[in-house]
Structure 1
Amino acid sequence: MKFRHTAANSQDNSQSLSGFRASVRDYTLAIPLLAILLIVTLIVALIWMTSRDNQSETEKKLTTDALWVEQYLRFQLQTFETELRDLGADIERDPQQKDTIRTKAQHLVSIHSEFIDISWFTPDGQLLESAPPGLNVIADYKPALAEHSRLFGKPVYSSPRHTSEGWVVDMVAPVYNNNRSAGTIWVIISLDRLLSRNVPWWVAGKYQVSLTDSGGDPLISKSSIMPTNDQARHTISFDPPLTGTYITVTPYQSRAAIGPIVISAAIIGLTILVIINLWMAYRQNRRRAAAEHALRTEYAFRQAMENSLTIGMRARDRDGRIIYVNPEFCRMVGYEEKQLIGMMPPHPYWAPEIMSEGIQRQNDMRSTGIAPREFETRFIRPDGKLIDIQVYEAPLIDADGTHIGWMGSLVDVTEKKKLEEARQTEAEKLQHNARLITMGEMASTLAHELNQPLAAITSYATGSLNLLQSGTVQPVDLTGALQKLSDQAQRAGTIVHRVHDFVRKRSVTPEQHDLRKILQDAASFVSSDIIKGGGHIDMRLPDMPVAVRADAVLIQQVLLNLIRNAREAAIGLPRNRQKLHISLESDEHEAVITITDHGHGIPEGMENEIFTPFISSKSEGMGMGLPICRSILESHKGRLWLLATPDTQGASFCLSLPLSTQEIAQ
């Protein structure tokens, strides 16, 4: 008990130490994992801060570029206003020089592609000149706009309008002659050309520049490419000079710098690989710890199982050397484990009478392959006690599939064999006593059987002597009588021979028999007595032989006992109830004989007790007949039972025997 307690404590300490080591391993893996996560967090924060700074710088740059575009377009329109004032001044100096004015207007149209048309209207709105002439798109004269330009004394602009030339705007400048109004000059400016000529390429390469209305819908755009970053647009009011018009600058999706992205991706990728590696190492350590724990648990379980086995376990290598024994084997042979491990045959626990047999068996096992085998042997303990052992040998295969020896399971069958021998002795005594009992009960039947042939012999002998004494008989007259006398003598001898065979039987010797013949022989013992009593036997047998392996005399004893019981149950009853029904049927597995009488039947309440020894429904019965019959049938792997009958008159007994696979020669 002290050793077991110490071992248990040691195992608990080992498990605790293993748990502590597993915890240490977990923390060891957690520290670099936390460090990696911290590095990743710092990298993400750095990227975010850099991105935020870049976004702020981009927004600042967008605002600056948008203001530059707005200022440049205003400057260009101011340039147009100056040139238009110069043209008005020329008209004021000499209004009659229309050709010169027309030429200068055409020159302005040619050098400024933004100008679609330059027209000169009188104060009352009449068109005087237009350059270039014949243009379909002309100024949409609005008196209010002309009056507005004269009132302020400078160029004014209309709202953008859509024409066949696209979106345009009218710029109106007043013309004076001797400080009196000489009309207005109207210039149609193409907004599309204004943007295309005055937005530089370095701006157009980064932004989409659009003129939009007050609702944000674009009128014209510098580029047809749709921007992908609508959230970063910047809008500046272009009113004045253009009423209800805005300049909207929207950046395209800029390409990020490849270098920082590659470096960041590489760092993140390496970080992910390190995390994956740490996670795999963590899982591997967890699996290893679980496997170690499972191995310890499995080893402890197998050790406890082997120690609790009541079967001896012994492993030997191919040379017969003992490499493993369990405690039960040591207890069985009386030697300690350290004495047995490494021991070569012949082993000291082999009984002297099986020494050569054991050596021969070891040589056979070494040379005949790895087929399992079973055999019985005998061991001797150090105190000289002999024990019978049942051995089951199986091949011992290692992890590589190599046959390295044999594993034997050994069972002590000494007590079992003693019990079997005692049971066999008791069975033989029971069968012998049953034969003696049956022989005594058959004595009266034998007297009835012999009485008829002996009486016939006496009658034929007396008649023959009387004829011989008369002196008148011929030899041919005595032939028939003497032949009948011989037949009766043979019949009497057959009856005596059957009884002699039955009495000298001592053990069960199964042989191949036709069950029909056994049944007919058994019925012949009592048939004459039944007929004399006024009854008869109705026997139904199959046409084909019914093959069984049985001791014919013992089965005849059973049938004779059952038929005699049926006959005795009907004694004293009317003739219609003196009938016995005997049938033989068979299926694929067994044959069944049913014996039915119409006698008094089994008393109520005794149906389950009639097969119990010393319980009988007869007043003078010993109560051993049916138990003996059942024991005989069970020794033949058969059965005997009482069949329930629908009426209360009579009883039916059934017995079964397994069919033999061999056929009976006809």
Structure 2
Amino acid sequence: MKKIAPYIWKLKPLQWIRRIRGFRLVYTPLLAIIIFTGVMGIILGALQLQEKDQQESALYRELSIAKQRIQLRFTNNVDVLQSMGRDYVSINNSSNVKSAFISQAENLLQSNREIAQILWIDESSQRQWIAPTINLKRDWFNHPDNAPVISAALKKTIELSAATNRPAFSQFITLKIPTNESTAREVRHIFWQTIPQVSENETKGMVAVLYTAQGLLDLIPGELKSQYRFTLLTDNEKVLAISSDKNTPRRAFSNQTTLDMGVLSPNLILRIDTYPPATNLTFRMLIGVVLGLSAFVIWSLWSVLKQMQVRQEVEATLRAETNFRSAMENSTPVGIRAHDMNRAITYVNPAFCEMTGWSAAELIGLEPPFPFWPEAQKNDLSERMNLALELSKNQEKKIGMEGSIVNRNGTILQTRTFIAPLINEKGQQTGWVTSLIDISEPKKIREELAASQDRFITVLEGLDAAVSVVSKESGELLFANRFYRERFGGNAQGHFELAGGNVAQSGEIAPAIESPSLYQESESEEIQLLDESTGASKWYEVRRRFVPWVDGDIAQLLIATDITIRIEANELMRQQEERMQFSSRLTTMGEMASSLAHELNQPLSAISNYCMGVIKRLQGNLDPSLQTDIIPALQKASDQAYRAGTIIQRIKGFVKRSEPQRKPSDINEIVNDAVGLVEIEAHRHRFSITAKVTENLPLVDIDPVLILQVLVNLLKNSLDSLREVYPLSSRWSAPSVTISADLDTSTFPAMLRIQVTDAGAGIAETVIERMFEPFFSTKNDGMGMGLNICRSVIESHQGRLWAKNHMDVEQTKRSGCTFTILLPLEIPGSISNL
């Protein structure tokens, strides 16, 4: 301003007038446009704020409606379930009454999609009934990964409701369900509500309701969900359910509120988001017109003043760009040539002229076949060029192909050519541009390296030992020969197993190879691995060392030789020595069994005599309690003492290899006796036993005591197998052990078939081959004689005993085992004791 002020004061009045008129002509429209734009902006902003307030008010109103619908539904559900519970407690809960109330519960489930299950819990916290009886969702609730979590949450909710005598809610439960499952979204997040039934200040039972978070959103009217997206959240912003997967815009309106469903309800937040509103074309067109007119006037005022300056700048930039491109094309070693639509050469750079030995004037205007192509390949190269040009024209991208050119002096160069369409400023194709790279030397080197590598790999592939190389930093398998791939596959896990380590989570190698010492070979080790394909164990002699890999990193080289045959030979010698020891132990055990039978018979006879004497004395007493309680117990004790003595006599006779004391016996009675003896132990471990005996089975000539002991032993083994699979908390859902008896008509003559089936862990293939051997046991405190004696007893009856595993549907793992006994109905030469 200090520089302009003296100049302004020196102007004459006529000049002042001209200056003011020019200012008015130039700047008055600009000022008017600025004022107009400002006023319109204020008006449009006010309209935008008003519309935003209206949308936020409507959003809050719709959120309140949705909240009221959900809270009202919970209130109605509590009232209905309390009414049902009071009626159920007041009426005798017979089977007909229970069926009626289950029907009411299932009708309530059908009308309320938010409820997944309804249970009745009695005053001792035991489940009496559950609705619905059949449901696909219930399969996921009973899944081994989900059932413990659901039961634990229900238990805590029952305790809270019993302590407060009010309806209580559990925390939210997230189930483990695959995402591709159809019901995954519907039942992934659930929670319990328990409603106590209090009568005379005592809790007579509870109604437990399992709610799904996704089902709560179904309570919201469909017209609201079509306009807004509703989301259920916990207080830590965890998403439980969402009404739609459709994304909302960044500037969408959002509001949220807390769902209060009761005194002991969990923290639950309901959020609402708006979808993009319909486009207001009138409003946007008005904005566009105002802004467009303003911009056009401003641009018109300044375009003339800037046009010359812009043109000069563009010309300078164009000259600099042209010079830069010319310098780049002349200095690059890549050969470049251009073709018109008739495939004639229109441009070549110096690098291309140097490759071919032809000048630019000689090359421009030539059409295929070109003189720099090898004579024998001209037809092939011409067809390949036509195909590449057509592909680049249609796809509008670079197409690369390998070929060769002949220099004018006769030198042949191997090249890689890239072709791209040449597009003018109007977007029309005027030809093609090709670039050629000389790959003669790299290709020669690659061929030599490939030949050397083939020779080296051929030697390694022919070795009868596993050779593998693993990176120390990343744990990646860098090389594996044929023997390694056949035994361990194409990953590095086999390498780490042979090295005695595993892959760390971060990708680094386990401590077995953490301290490298280049080229220092470790001592050979003998490693035992399990062959997953055959289930047999393999032994390997392993040697390893650290070597630098081709990329400069340190890698571990491992060589493993299969020595399974040598180890098996040593194991066979050891087994022969053990069999000799087994024979000696069997002889000693027979002597011990005879001594024990002699020593135990006298105290057992005394126990039986004492019990019978007490019974005789008590029978004269007219006290009813003695007749109903004490005398039957003493009778059973006497019978068990007699049975123990009989068992000892059978074992003594069995050790002496005497024949079983056979007599015609009812297999139904023997099975029931076996179930009765083992059922007490089964109930103690929360298991059950089911007996299935075919009616009207004929009498079988067997020793009932020995057969009973065999069945008791097999039932106990089945219970032990179930205990390994089912923990104490989930045994209520474990399937029962089944013992069945029927006729096997697949053989001639027909035989009696007895089967003991469980759903336990099954028997390993390596164990099932040896489990009937003497002194072989998988239990820490087992003697290994149970199954051996069982098979000997069955074989002494000229029968057979074997075991077979069950496999799951996908044939991937064992899902239980069945022991089968076949006994002949009539044994030739048997003598009846009747």
Structure with higher RCO (Cα < 8 A, 6+ apart): 1
Q: TM-score, normalising length from structure 2?
A: 0.31
Q: TM-score, normalising length from structure 1?
A: 0.38
State the structure with more CA Rg: 1
